[in-house]
Structure 1
Amino acid sequence: MFYQEAIEYIKNIERSGSDYGIERMRELLDLLGAPDRHLKFVHIAGTNGKGSVSAYLTSVLKEAGYKVGTYNSPSVFCYNERWLINGNPLSNEDVAKYLTAVRECIESEQILRNAFGISEFKPTAFEIETAVAMLAFFDKECDVCVLETGLGGRWDATNAIEDKVLSIITPICLDHCALLGNTLGEIASEKAAIIKDEVVTCNQPPEVMEQLKRPFALKDGKKEYRKANVVVCKEPKFLRGNLDGQVFSYDGKEYEISMLGKHQLVNAAIAICAVEELNKKHFDISENALKVGLKNTIWKARLQVVKNAKEEFNITIPQDKVLVFDGSHNPQGATTLANAIKDLFKNKRVHLVLGILKDKDVKGICTILAPLANRITCITPPSPRAMQKEELKCIVAPLCKGECSMQDDIKTAVQNALNGDCDVTILCGSLTLFSDLKSNE
C-alpha cells in the first residue's frame, strides 16, 4: 500500500469500533514473528501525564546514547507522531510499509480461518497500530521502547507486551468512567494491571496506592502471586520560572525544564525516579544526560507557548500577544490549566478558544476554566464524539465574565482571538483540535 491507501485502511478499521482484550493482540504479534520479544520496554499508564513522562524519558534516553522507540496516542498534529524513533515520527514510507505488513498478515490469517470455519480474526485499529510500533521498533533496532497505554491498562493492547524493564503509573483521576470504573480504586485497579515487577509512581490517593501494592499474578497462567516493588518519587520543589520554563530541585539537585505548569514538576520527578531505577537495571544514564534531556523535552499541546505559529499554522501572533495550546480534557487537567493561567498570566486578559468532546465531563471542565476567561469562542472539535459549539455555548456563557461567541473554523477562531483585545489566547479542551488546525494550513 502507498501511504494514503494505508491511512484509508486504518480509518476503515476505526469505523468498525473497538473492543478490548489482549489475547487477540498477543496472537497478532506472534503471527508477525513476535518482534516485541526482542525489545526492552518501559510501560506507562495513568490518567494525566503519560505523554509528558514518555517525552521526558525519550529525551533523556536519547541524550544518554540509546536509540529510543516511543509509542503514544492520540497524535497531536499528524498521524505519524504516534510512532517516534529518537523523538522523530516515522516517515510516510515506513508507516505504509509496516501497515502493509500487518494488513497482509491479518488477511492471510482470515483466509486460513475461513477455510477451516474458525471464528473471524479482526484486530482493532489500535491493535494494528500497536503491531506497527513493534515491527518498526524491531526493524529500527531500538535499544529501549517507551510505551503509553491507550486506555486503562488491564485490557489495553499494549499490555500484551509481557517482558517489561519498568512500569510507571502517572497521576490517576476520574476519567473514562464508563469503561474503567466510577471510583479511583476501580480505575487504579485497571491501570495497575500493567505492573509486572516494579512500578514507579508519585504520591497518589490512598485508594490508588492500595491497588498498586496489591499482589499480581505471574505470567504464563501460573497461579502464583507476588507484590510489586512500588517506588514513589520524591517531592519536587519549585524554585523559579517564566514563560521559557521552570527550575526545581529534586533530592537536593537542581533541574530545569522547558514545559510549563507546576504539574510538570511531578511528571519530571517521575521521570527522574524512573531513570534512577533504570540505572539499577544496568542502564547507563549520566546525570548530565538526565539534566540535558529534561531541559530539551518538548511535548506539544501541553501548556505549549507557541513560538512559530506563522511557519507551522499560518497564524500571525501580534507583538506582545501570547498563544497557548493545551489539550487538557478532564477536570484535573482543566485545574492544571487554570492554575497556570493564575500563575503565568495574572492581570492579563485571557481569551479561550474552547472545544470539548461530549463524552467528557464538559460541565466540570467549563466550571473550572470559564470564570477565568474575559472572552470565550466555542468551536466544534473535528470528532464524531464532539459536543456541538451551540450546546457548549449554552454551558459556558453563564460562567464567562465577558462575551461568549461561536466560530465554525478553528484557525479563524484563533486568529480572531489573537487580533482582539485580550493579551493571551488559549486553544484548549481536546487534543483533537490541533490536528485540524494543522490540516487547515
Structure 2
Amino acid sequence: MEYQEGLNWIHDRMKFGIKPGVKRMEWMLKKLDNPERNINGIHIVGTNGKGSTVAYMRNALNRNGYSVGTFTSPYIETFNERISINGHPITDEQLVELIEIVKPISEELERETDLGTATEFEIITTMMFVHFGTIQPVDYVLVEAGLGAKKDSTNVFNPILTVLTSIGLDHTAILGDTLLDITKDKSGVIKPGVPLVFSIKDDVSRDYIHKILEENDSKGIELNRDIILIPENGEFQFQYGHYDLQDLKLSMPGRHQKENASLAIAALIELYERNQVNIDCNLLIQGIEETVWPGRIEVASTEPLIILDGAHNNEAVDALVNTMAKEYPNRDITVLFSAIEGKPIDTMIEKLESIADSFNVTEFDFPKALDKETVFEKVQHPVKAVVDDYKAFLDTFDGDILLVTGSLYFISEVKQKLNKNDDNQ
C-alpha cells in the first residue's frame, strides 16, 4: 500500500461522522490482543488546553531522559504528527504499516458485527494503541482525548494518571447544553484509584467531580486548591505540597498557559511521589520553560507580525483576547477569521471584535468549514471585509499585526501555506 492510498482510506472514514461510544474500539482492540494494556498511559481530557498540557509534560519527561509517545488532534502540519515519539511524527512507512494492520480488522468489524463502521478517529486511535502497545513501546504515552471523555474513543485504557484541563461549552450538540452535562461526560474518565489533576472554575461542576472522585476512591489534585499558581510580572510561582518552584518563565504567553503548565508540573510531581517516574526538578523546569506548541498564539512571521491561534470556542477566545490585549497593547490588530460548523461564532466574533481594528472573514477547504458569507453576516465591526483568497491576503498583508484564528483546522491550512512560502525563499 502506498502512503497516499492509506491516507485516503483513513480520510474516507470521515463520511461516517462522529459516533460516540467505545464498543467498536473494544471489539477491534480485543482482536488485536489488547495493545492498550501494554502502555504506561496518561489520559488528558478537557475542553481547552489539552494540546499545550501534553506538550509541557512531554518536554519535561524528555528532558528527564524518557521516551514519550503522544496522541494529539487535530494535526497542524502533517497527518503523521497525530502519533509522535519525542515530538517527532511517525514515518510514512510506519503509518502504512499501521493501516495494513488495522484496516482488515475494521473491515471485519463492519462485516461480522452489528456495531457499524469504525470512524476516522476510531481508526487512528486504534493505530496509536497498536504502535505504542505492540510495535514501538515507549516509557510513557500521553493520550489526548478527542471529543468529550466518557464515550470518546480514547477511553478504553487504564491510565496511571488522568488530567482534566478545563470544562467549557463546546460540542454541545453531542455532550449536552450545560456545564454540568459536559462535566458528567468528562467525569467518565475517572478510574478507581487513579489520581486526577484538574482545573474547573464552575462551582457546580467542581462539586460533581469531587463526588465522582470520592465514589471511585481516587485522589483529586485541584488547581487553586491543592496547586497554587502565583503570577509575578510575566513569571510565576508554583506550589504543590512541599514543592515550591520560583520564577518560572514560559515560552508561551498568557495566564491560561501558566495554568496548563501548572497542571503538567503537578501531574509529574504526583507520579514522582508515587514512584512511577523519576524526575529531576531542574530538568523538569527546563523542559516546561522551553515548551512551545504550534497554533497557540504562535508567531508565524515577524515582518509583518502574523500570529496564529486555534481558538475555536468561547473559553479559548477569551484566553486569546486577554493575552493579545496584555502582550500587544496599543497595536493595530487585523483579524482574519474562519470557523467550522457547530461553534458559537456569534459570541466568538463579538469577543474578537473588542481587540480588532479591522475584521476579515474567509473560508477554507474543509468538509465542515462555514462559508464566508454566513460568517460575515455575524460580524458587527465597523471595518469588516470578506476575503475570497486568504492565501493572497497573507502574501500581501502589510499592516501592524495579523491575527489568524477561529479554528485549529484553519490554522493548519494557514501554517502549511506559510511554510511553503518559507521553502520557496
TM-score by length of 1: 0.88
Query: How much does 1:392 deviate?
Result: 1.6
Over 3 Å counting, the alpha-carbon distance change for 1:394 and 1:271 in structure 2 is: same
Query: How much does 1:240 deviate?
Result: 2.9
Query: How much does 1:437 deviate?
Result: 2.4
Q: How does 1:12-161 map to 2 (within 5 A)?
A: 12-108=12-108, 110=110, 113=112, 118-119=113-114, 122-138=117-133, 139-161=135-157
Look up the match of 2:412: 435
- The reply on whether 1:261 has 2:254 as its aligned counterpart is yes
Letter in 2 for 1:405: A
Look up the match of 1:206: 203
Letter in 2 for 1:240: N
Query: How much does 1:121 deviate?
Result: 5.3
User: SS of the residue aligned with 2:189?
Assistant: coil
CA contact (8 A) 1:98 1:135 kept: yes
User: SS of the residue aligned with 1:373?
Assistant: coil
CA contact (8 A) 2:335 2:404 kept: yes
Letter in 2 for 1:46: G
Instruction: Tell me the alpha carbon deviations over residues 136-172 of structure 1, each in whole angstroms, 9 at most, x when there is no partner.
Output: 11322111110111011110010011x2100111111
Match of 1:291 among 285, 296, 305: 285
Q: Distance in 2 between the 1:15 and 1:358 partners?
A: 15
Look up the match of 1:323: 306
User: SS of the residue aligned with 1:204?
Assistant: coil
Counting matched residue pairs gives: 406
Q: Distance in 2 between the 1:226 and 1:253 partners?
A: 31
Over 3 Å counting, the alpha-carbon distance change for 1:229 and 1:359 in structure 2 is: same
Q: Distance in 2 between the 1:203 and 1:361 partners?
A: 21
User: SS of the residue aligned with 2:84?
Assistant: strand
CA contact (8 A) 1:414 1:427 kept: no
User: SS of the residue aligned with 1:20?
Assistant: coil
Letter in 2 for 1:43: H
Query: How much does 1:295 deviate?
Result: 1.5
Structure 2: 5+ residue stretches without partners? 421-425
Identical positions, percent: 29
Instruction: Tell me the alpha carbon deviations over residues 291-340 of structure 1, each in whole angstroms, 9 at most, x when there is no partner.
Output: 1110221110011122xx5xxxxxxx53xx42110000111111111111
User: SS of the residue aligned with 1:352?
Assistant: strand
Q: Distance in 2 between the 1:271 and 1:301 partners?
A: 19
CA contact (8 A) 2:23 2:115 kept: no
Instruction: Tell me the alpha carbon deviations over residues 23-58 of structure 1, each in whole angstroms, 9 at most, x when there is no partner.
Output: 210111111121111111110111111111111111
Letter in 2 for 1:66: Y
Letter in 2 for 1:142: V
Look up the match of 2:342: 359
Q: Distance in 2 between the 1:380 and 1:85 partners?
A: 33
Q: Distance in 1 between the 2:334 and 2:279 partners?
A: 42
Over 3 Å counting, the alpha-carbon distance change for 1:291 and 1:439 in structure 2 is: closer
User: SS of the residue aligned with 1:257?
Assistant: coil
Q: Distance in 1 between the 2:185 and 2:116 partners?
A: 25
CA contact (8 A) 1:23 1:160 kept: no
Letter in 2 for 1:408: D
Q: Distance in 2 between the 1:438 and 1:265 partners?
A: 25
Q: Distance in 2 between the 1:179 and 1:16 partners?
A: 15
Letter in 2 for 1:26: E
CA contact (8 A) 1:77 1:434 kept: no
- The reply on whether 1:184 has 2:176 as its aligned counterpart is no
After superposing the two structures, state which structure 1 stretch, 197-206 or 20-29, moved more: 197-206
Over 3 Å counting, the alpha-carbon distance change for 1:377 and 1:122 in structure 2 is: same
Q: Where does structure 1 differ by over 6 angstroms across 4 or more consecutive aligned residues?
A: none
CA contact (8 A) 1:382 1:432 kept: no
Structure 1: 5+ residue stretches without partners? 218-224, 242-246, 310-316
Q: Distance in 1 between the 2:413 and 2:365 partners?
A: 7
User: SS of the residue aligned with 2:19?
Assistant: coil
Look up the match of 1:193: 188
User: SS of the residue aligned with 2:249?
Assistant: strand
Q: How does 1:406-417 map to 2 (within 5 A)?
A: 406-417=386-397
Over 3 Å counting, the alpha-carbon distance change for 1:190 and 1:109 in structure 2 is: closer
Look up the match of 1:305: 299
Query: How much does 1:202 deviate?
Result: 2.4
- The reply on whether 1:281 has 2:258 as its aligned counterpart is no
Q: Distance in 1 between the 2:106 and 2:216 partners?
A: 36
